[in-house]
Amino acid sequence: MLESYFSLLVKLGSVAGIASILARSNSFKTMLMRESRTLNQRVALALWLSVIFGASVAARVLNPNYQAADLGMEGSLLSGLLGGYVTGLLSGILISIPAMIHGETLAMPLFAGIGVLGGVLRDIAPDPEEIWRFSPFLDLNLYRFFKESRNYRRAAFHLIASAAILAAEGLRQELGRQFTIHHIFYLKPEPHQALSVIALYASTFFAVAIPLKIWNSARYEKKLEEKERLLAESRLAALTSQINPHFLFNTLNSVSSLIRTDPDQARRMVVKLSKVLRRLLRKHEHFSTLRDELSFIDDYLSIEVVRFGDKLRFQNEVAADTLDMLVPSMLIQPLVENCIKHGLSSKVEGGTIRIRAARTESRLHLLIEDDGVGIPEAKLATLLDHGVGVSNVNERLKVLFANDYRMWIDSQPGRGTRIQIEVPELHTDLAAVS
């Protein structure tokens, strides 16, 4: 008797292991995320489940000592529940092939029929999500039925699904008694042992319900990852949208200062501004090459030089092997803008902005510095948390790289400010995913 109970425990362990293995596959989790599927997708789902559950039947056929590993009927029912009639029918046929080869002639009609039964249960579910809410605890399903007086259809589905699973095991037991084990495999309960019968039916019930719970957890994990990705993209888009209006506002101020004093120069500046904005409107990627970013800085500074004249100087010290490295779009411009606005604009003799880039051990090191008025120590301590430019860049880096970046600022009043950024090397395919 103990050996019989041990076999049932092995059966539950086997189904939990199979469900966990499938849940590790991103392709399978993607299939689970779909509530409506094309015919090809339903066939693909059937093939996934048939390979795994068919292997459990083959393991029992090849080694009779592993009888509890046979999960053919449960796999057929799960296939129908998840994919509908086509998936259930096809899975039932494919899963039964090892048993049919072994001479168990009733395996294919039984498994195919149980697969179709799973499709029927899917159809009568008030909502596909109800399949995932199915509980392995029958008392909870009964409790739902009496508690959810306003939604009898939902509660009734859980009771009908529970009854269908138990009826499927009852049908297998009856076929086994009528046609012998040579025509259909089934686990026999201990004679005259009511507890043994209950344990047998309970093991079948849990063998269907446990995978649903494991896969539902995998679905929620996948959904959470997707929501986090969408949240990060939304946050990044919001941060980027803060930068462009900020740049536009300051540039238009420069244009307005020239309209009365030098209309021709103002006109030329508007043309250059349109060129910059046209480029901004074309860029939808989160990343661009450092070469493109520096080209954008050249366009931007050509506008600012009109305003500041010879007072504004620019030095570019960028290593050649960094030019094709990917960086977040609009990474450098807000920092250069800050150098001009806060570091050099109030300095009578003007000053110089330097940009340096170097590559070491698959990481990009950027330095943006000016020799302007500098930042007071009290303000420097909170600079990353305030203001549109620096804090925005820091937030974008945090969204894109989490903890795999560094950004720090050094400044001395009267001597200038230095901003250093270190980010990992990115490849084109990874940047496209981000």
141-152 pLDDT tens trace:
555 555 655 567
- Calculate ∠ Cα 417-283-405, nearest 5°: 40
The pairing of strands 406-412 and 312-318 is unpaired
Q: Is the pLDDT of residue 430 over 50?
A: no
State mean pLDDT over 321-331.
Answer: 88
**Same-domain check for residues 135 and 202:** yes
Position with higher pLDDT, 186 vs 281: 186
In a domain, 31, yes or no: yes
- Calculate ∠ Cα 17-21-23, nearest 5°: 115
Expressed as residue numbers, the domain containing 32 is: 2-226
Torsion of CA 133, 221, 428, 357, to 10 degrees: 150
**Same-domain check for residues 221 and 269:** no
Element holding 343 (H helix, E strand): none
Out of 125-134, 242-251, 268-277, 424-433, pick the least confident. Answer: 424-433
> Mean of the per-residue pLDDT values for the chain?
82
In a domain, 82, yes or no: yes
> What is the pLDDT, as a whole number, of residue 147?
60
226, 252, 283 — which closes off a domain?
226
> What is the pLDDT, as a whole number, of residue 116?
95
373-398 pLDDT tens trace:
888 877 877 777 665 678 878 888 88
Q: Residue 318, exposed/middle/buried by CB under 10 A (0-12, 13-18, 19+)?
A: middle
Amino acid at 68: A
- Any alpha helices (H) in 63-106, and if so which ranges? 72-83, 85-95, 97-101
State mean pLDDT over 192-209.
Answer: 87
> What is the pLDDT, as a whole number, of residue 121?
93
Q: Is the pLDDT of residue 217 over 80?
A: yes
Out of 87-96, 101-110, 308-317, 360-369, pick the least confident. Answer: 308-317
Q: Are 330 and 408 in contact (CB under 8 A)?
A: no
Element holding 37 (H helix, E strand): none
In a domain, 234, yes or no: no
Out of 168-177, 227-236, 305-314, pick the least confident. Answer: 227-236
224-252 pLDDT tens trace:
777 776 666 655 565 555 555 666 776 77
User: For residue 22, what pLDDT band results from cuts at 50, 70 and 90?
Assistant: confident
Position with higher pLDDT, 70 vs 286: 70
**Same-domain check for residues 12 and 116:** yes
Q: CATH number, domain at 290? A: 3.30.565.10
User: For residue 88, what pLDDT band results from cuts at 50, 70 and 90?
Assistant: very high
Q: Is the pLDDT of residue 320 over 80?
A: yes
> What is the pLDDT, as a whole number, of residue 319?
93
In a domain, 253, yes or no: no
> What is the pLDDT, as a whole number, of residue 432?
45
Q: What is the pTM of this model?
A: 0.58
State mean pLDDT over 217-225.
Answer: 82
**Same-domain check for residues 321 and 399:** yes
Position with higher pLDDT, 393 vs 98: 98
In a domain, 118, yes or no: yes
> What is the pLDDT, as a whole number, of residue 95?
95
226, 242, 270 — which closes off a domain?
226
> What is the pLDDT, as a whole number, of residue 143?
59
Q: Is the pLDDT of residue 66 over 90?
A: no
**Same-domain check for residues 185 and 270:** no
> What is the pLDDT, as a whole number, of residue 91?
95
State mean pLDDT over 325-339.
Answer: 86
> What is the pLDDT, as a whole number, of residue 386?
63
**What is the number of structural domains in the chain?**
2
Q: Is the pLDDT of residue 76 over 90?
A: yes
> What is the pLDDT, as a whole number, of residue 110?
94
